[in-house]
Amino acid sequence: MANTFWADVDRHVLRYGGGFTPEIIDRAEGSHVVTEDGRRILDFTSGQMSAILGHGHPEIVATVREGVARLDHLYSGMLSRPVVELSRRLAGTLPEPLEKVLLLSTGAESNEAAIRLAKLVTGKFEIVSFSRSWHGMTQAAVNATYSASRHGYGPAVPGNIAIPTPNPYRPDFLTAGGELDWRRQLDHAFDLVDAQSVGSLAACIVEPIISSGGLIVPPEGYLAALRAKCREREMLLILDEAQTGLCRTGDWYAFQSSGVVPDILTLSKTLGAGLPLAAVITSAEIEERAHERGFLFYTTHVSDPLVAAVGNTVLDVLERDDMAARVRTSGAQLREGLEKLHTKHEIVGDVRGRGLLQGIELVIDRETKRGSDALGGWVTRRCLELGLHMNVVQLPGMGGVFRIAPPLTSTEEELAEGLRILDQALTEAPLAEFA
């Protein structure tokens, strides 16, 4: 049966990225996925960084069952109570003036809408984003994405400009003490932006923690300084919290610790807890200006009631269980365990992240910080063999960076088990093969 399955994969499934995990997944429950032959694998990626309440959460299941039977999908111009309620409640979790909400399906779609909104409102078209960014695979989103290969797809949309990613572990501008001089880096970045711009800077879109680009946390003060650069140029600031929003980092939103409020916020992944739900949130002033200019973003599943009902249930659980506080506790446990691995294993070059979105970067040599894609791949495969699913980011100039994002509902025992398996895989890594 398994041979037939993989033969069908080879013959009929269009490949859309890296290789497929060599397991046939039969079901998922809580913090685990279960293979067809009954093997339980601890899920340290929350599916695609999305299932923040674990798999098959009973309240989500109940909401879906009721919603499918009662109110699943409507014409795009029709509104329902779950949609309006979720919009109101999301606005209630955010600082002023963020209060106008558009509900969509995916992160790419929400970033597409945010960029389209920014272009219409400003009357300009140039978009700035990080050199390690990932914002999605639709047109505007993919053209603001630089962490994935851009080769082979023809010319990018004019007006997209990359700025250096502020990576404290691999600094390009140095202080006298050898640390990242992010202020000088940011000044240089916008000197280059100004040199390339044709005078039509519309917006800057960034993640408050750069996830797919290597789990990089910008230095304290960076986002505020970036916002000031935007204000000087009358650009809007879009924050993409696809992976960081809704308690993942120990705050409801990662931007809260920066003191910065974006002009436009995008949510996805975590909002639907594994179901396709996304949001664009902005101010009444921006929404009014966009409406006056005829803002258009009809999609088949805009304002769908079923997933909106799921979003309301997600908020119910996060609020009732004080999930932000729980994540601060479990995040501290995860960080302590990762720091112990850093002390024990020379190949762990760096530990970074916040809450239950953390990462380790593997290196062959701590002094030179030389990485190895092959090492990261080996550790990933060994973890899977031992019962732990991990995601490794492999980008040019970096080694393997593991993004660790278990469900927010993970128990102490599950986090400890994941750390134990990772420890074993690192211990067994045949370093001589990668030196």
Q: What is the predicted pLDDT for the residue at 432? A: 86
The answer, yes or no, to whether residue 338 has pLDDT greater than 70, is yes
- For CATH 3.90.1150.10, the residue range(s) in the chain are 2-57+323-433
Q: What is the pLDDT of residues 70-81, one digit of tens each?
A: 999 999 999 999
Could you read off the pLDDT of 218-263 as tens digits, one per residue?
999 999 999 999 999 999 999 999 999 999 999 999 999 999 999 9
Q: How would DSSP label each residue in 280-318?
A: EEEEHHHHHHHHHTT-----TTTT-HHHHHHHHHHHHHH
Task: Tell me how far the alpha carbon of residue 334 is from its chain's centroid.
Answer: 19
| Average pLDDT score over residue span 417-423 | 98
User: How high is the pLDDT of residue 148?
Assistant: 84
The CATH architecture to which 71-320 belongs is 3-Layer(aba) Sandwich (3.40)
Neighbours of 39 (CB within 10 A): 15
Q: How much is the mean pLDDT over the chain?
A: 96
What is the mean pLDDT of the segment spanning 304-319? Answer: 98
* pLDDT value, residue 1: 78
| CA distance linking residue 248 with residue 50, whole number of Å | 10
Reported as a pLDDT band with limits 50, 70 and 90, residue 134 is: very high
In degrees rounded to 5, what are phi and psi of residue 164? -60, 140
The reported pTM is 0.97
The CATH fold of domain 2-57+323-433:
Aspartate Aminotransferase, domain 1 (3.90.1150)
Contacts of residue 167, defined as CB under 8 A and 6 or more positions apart, other chains included, come to: 132, 180, 214, 216
Tens of pLDDT, residues 41-66: 999 999 999 999 999 999 999 999 99
Show which residues are catalytic. Answer: 134, 207, 240, 243, 269, 403
pLDDT interval class at 122 (50, 70, 90): very high
Query: What mean pLDDT comes out for the span 74-91?
Result: 98
Do 336 and 191 contact (CB within 8 A), yes or no?
A: no
In the block, residue with structure tokens 């997933």: 307
Three-state SS at 372: coil
Q: What is the pLDDT of residue 373?
A: 87
pLDDT in the model for residue 149: 79
Across the range 164-173, mean pLDDT stands at 97
All CATH 3.40.640.10 domain ranges of the chain, comma separated, are 71-320
pLDDT of 180 over the 70 cut: yes
Tokens (6 digits) for 57: 């959460």
- Model confidence at 397: pLDDT above 70: no
pLDDT of 398 reads 62
- State the pLDDT confidence band at 21, using cuts at 50, 70 and 90: very high
Instruction: Find out whether 315 and 237 touch, Cβ atoms under 8 Å.
Output: no
User: Higher-confidence residue: 397 or 328?
Assistant: 328
pLDDT reading at 399 higher than 90: no
